[in-house]
């Protein structure tokens, strides 16, 4: 493990210093060159917090990873440079699903002139670190918001194009046992979205590319465009060309198709609910086609 290998992987060519400019550039370069993806979870390959395994996967083998790996690797690299890094327990969708979400996300804090939130593990979240201060933050065409809740949790509100609305965290050292328990659950339980859906996301300078099952989306300042990946052969080439993931998706294809059908059915049910007489005031019209 060598931090210069990591810098080569993310194509960072600066002279690292313990300052915000270095922190922000490393954060951004990581997002541009290492994708967020859960292919190993889909294939049933066990994952943990071992930094040597994470380094080998993401740096040596040029793969991507999920939050525990992405932020785990970034936190290690920042410490090699001399940054003071704190791992914190996050909770994606705690706003809607409650405290059972605690530990399903790893968040980093870095102390410089002030505390900064550092997070390359949400997939389509922050482009650059933000101060741990309430307010709105514009980065390129994306707007984020950070608020301190009455219960002592901070809530990060993601940009409006994201599939993740928010996550909560407390400004305290992570409960590593809680993080590991949730890491195991997310890759083993059939109720886990990571078990149910193939997910891959990656930033470009002008967009975010997102794969959820068969649905591929590109988010730009003009909005979101989507297409359906219709075959395992196309998925093989697409995942390599777009996310740098070289795997054979034939074995996963039946699972991907079932997940897609369930997703479409759920969207149809939403449309049916919106078209109910109680919603449309007793008028009649044809049901619209779901997106």
Tell me the pLDDT of the chain (291 aa) as tens digits.
899 999 999 999 999 999 999 999 999 999 999 999 999 999 999 999 999 999 999 999 999 999 999 999 999 999 999 999 999 999 999 999 999 999 999 999 999 999 999 999 999 999 999 999 999 999 999 999 999 999 999 999 999 999 999 999 999 999 999 999 999 999 999 999 999 999 999 999 999 999 999 999 999 999 999 999 999 999 999 999 999 999 999 999 999 999 999 888 777 765 555 555 544 444 333 322 222
Helices (H) then strands (E): counts for the chain: 11, 13
Q: What is the pLDDT of residue 262?
A: 87
Q: What is the pLDDT of residue 265?
A: 79
| Rounded to 5°, angle at Cα 255 from 288 and 245 | 100
CATH 3.30.2140.20 residue window(s) in the chain: 3-188
Q: What is the pLDDT of residue 290?
A: 29
Backbone angles phi, psi at 15, to 5 degrees: -105, 100
How is residue 246 written in tokens?
Answer: 């070289």
Q: What is the pLDDT of residue 282?
A: 43
Which residues does the annotation mark as catalytic? 67, 105, 119
CATH 3.30.2140.10 residue window(s) in the chain: 193-268
Provide CATH code, domain 3-188.
Answer: 3.30.2140.20
Helices 67-81 and 20-33: crossing angle in degrees, nearest 10, is 140
- SS3 at position 135: strand
Calpha distance 55→63 (Å, rounded): 10
Q: What is the pLDDT of residue 263?
A: 84
Distance of CA 238 to the CA centre of its chain: 19
Calpha distance 168→74 (Å, rounded): 20
Checking DSSP bridges between strand 130-131 and strand 154-157, what pairing results, if any? unpaired
Calpha distance 171→160 (Å, rounded): 25
Pick the CATH number of 193-268 from 3.40.50.920, 3.40.50.300, 3.30.2140.10, 3.40.250.10: 3.30.2140.10
Burial of 257 (0-12, 13-18, 19+ CB in 10 A): middle
Report the predicted TM-score, pTM, of the whole model to 2 decimal places.
0.91
């Amino acid at each position: 493990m060598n931090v210069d290998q990591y810098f080569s992987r993310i194509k960072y060519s600066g002279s690292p210093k313990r300052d915000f400019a270095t922190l922000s550039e490393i954060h951004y370069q990581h997002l541009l060159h290492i994708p967020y993806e859960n292919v190993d979870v889909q294939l049933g390959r066990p994952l943990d917090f071992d930094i040597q395994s994470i380094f080998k996967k993401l740096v040596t083998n040029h793969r991507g990873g999920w939050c525990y790996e992405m932020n785990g690797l970034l936190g290690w690299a920042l410490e090699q440079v001399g940054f003071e890094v704190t791992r914190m327990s996050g909770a994606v969708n705690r706003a809607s699903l409650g405290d059972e979400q605690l530990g399903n996300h790893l968040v980093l804090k870095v102390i410089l002139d002030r505390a900064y939130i550092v997070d390359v593990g949400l997939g389509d979240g922050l482009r650059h670190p933000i101060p741990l201060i309430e307010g709105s933050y514009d980065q390129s065409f994306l707007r984020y918001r950070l608020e301190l809740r009455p219960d002592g949790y901070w809530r990060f509100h993601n940009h409006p194009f994201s599939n993740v609305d928010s996550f909560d965290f407390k400004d305290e050292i992570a409960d590593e046992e809680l993080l590991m328990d949730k890491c195991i659950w997310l890759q083993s339980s059939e109720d886990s979205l990571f078990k149910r859906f193939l997910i891959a996301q990656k930033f470009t300078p002008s967009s975010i590319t997102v794969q959820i099952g068969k649905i591929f989306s590109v988010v730009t300042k003009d909005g979101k465009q989507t297409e359906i990946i219709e075959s395992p052969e196309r998925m093989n080439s697409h995942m390599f060309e777009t996310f740098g993931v070289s795997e054979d998706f034939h074995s996963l294809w039946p699972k991907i198709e079932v997940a897609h059908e369930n997703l479409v059915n759920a969207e149809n049910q939403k449309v049916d609910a919106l078209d109910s007489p109680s919603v449309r005031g007793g008028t009649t019209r044809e049901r619209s086609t779901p997106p």
